[in-house]
Amino acid sequence: MSRALTVADERWPIAGAFTIARGSKTEAHVVVAQIAEAGHVGRGEAVPYARYGESVASVLAEFESVRGAMEGGADRDALQRLLPAGAARNALDCALWDLEAKRSGRRVFELAGRARLDPVKTCYTLSLAPPEQMADAARAAARRPMLKLKIGGPDDLDRVEAVRGAAPLSRLVVDANEALSFDELKRLAPEFARLDVKLIEQPLKAGEDAALEGYESPVLLCADESLHTRAELADCARRYGCVNIKLDKTGGLTEALALADEARSLGLEIMAGCMVGTSLAMAPALLIAQGAAFVDLDGPLLLARDREPGLTFVGSMIEPPPPELWG
């Protein structure tokens, strides 16, 4: 049966701006792959990330490099060998999962061996800003059960104190995006523990985090930029107690599921994370979010508008995706 691969890039405006230690953006520039076969269409969305040497142009070129194989019937196993982990493989892998679900009349969670897909509660992200602005944002979101703060500057402790004062009942996650030195981490971690921060995400630069081996942090540490696939997991297990699994890093749901299983076998906690994208990018990650200690799939909540149909958010609770969206 013949297949057709269609690819596109789309721009989705962010509500305001999204700011982290590395910079700020006002739109999510995503890529979408569609694979049509036998009257069914599978879709996948991914976000090229400059931090990992990707651009929209480079991801579109990767799609073209495997067009013949994909239209010739390559399956998910073959795809793992055709492309490296990253945004292009993610979009194609998720499209193949979706296509298989549509063709079989079964949901992706069933194909993945799960009995059901439950709703999950997501973090809500506060962009990096001066402490008083972050306090205002936290106050507006104070009814959400978990807030994730972006940090990365000399006022970091003031930021966390301001947010804690404005949202006293919310669980807090702090995300440094590689912006701290080891000395800064050792100074801040006890203060963050005092403020009841539950997790510090990627405090040190990837490649420079061997310093964490033997360090007993008073707050659980989570690898993000340091972990892409199972290849980095052994090193991360010596340095962190939690790993952030993002489909754009793993190169799709296939590797992400295997990574989550192996991480749990090593005693690591799981965070299901995302780049800023639409509901189409979040839907596959809901499988990783099942049973995860932390869920950060708030991408659509940060957009000025989402695709339709999209995921249903009830406060911070995300309902399973309708099959018209994905899976």
249 is catalytic: no
Q: Is 179 found in the same domain as 47?
A: no
Nearest-CA neighbor of 46 among 6, 95, 82, 5? 95
Active-site position among 102, 121, 246, 249? 246
Going from the first residue of the chain to its last (327 residues), give the mean pLDDT of each consecutive group of 10, the final group possibly shorter: 92 92 91 97 97 96 98 97 98 98 98 97 96 97 97 95 98 97 97 98 96 97 98 98 98 98 98 97 98 98 97 97 97
- Concatenate the DSSP letters of all residues of 210-249 into one string: GGGTT---SSEEEESTT-SSGGGHHHHHTT-SEEEE-HHH
Nearest-CA neighbor of 271 among 248, 249, 247, 296? 296
Q: Is 133 found in the same domain as 104?
A: no
246 is catalytic: yes
* Rounded Cα distance, 141 and 106, in Å: 37
Q: For residue 141, what is the domain's CATH number? A: 3.20.20.120
Query: Which of 111, 130, 153 is the last residue before a domain boundary?
Result: 111
Sheet holding 120-121, edge to edge: 120-121, 317-318, 313-314
Q: Is 296 found in the same domain as 152?
A: yes
Q: Residue 250's Cα: distance from chain center in Å?
A: 10
Active-site position among 121, 148, 150, 249? 150
- Domain assignment present for 323: no
Q: Is 151 found in the same domain as 263?
A: yes
Domain assignment of residue 26, given as a range: 3-111
Q: For residue 34, what is the domain's CATH number? A: 3.30.390.10
Tokens of 244: 């952030």
Segment (H or E) for 199: strand 197-201
Q: What is the pLDDT of residue 1?
A: 58
Q: Is 125 found in the same domain as 98?
A: no
Q: Is 158 found in the same domain as 89?
A: no
* Rounded Cα distance, 154 and 47, in Å: 30
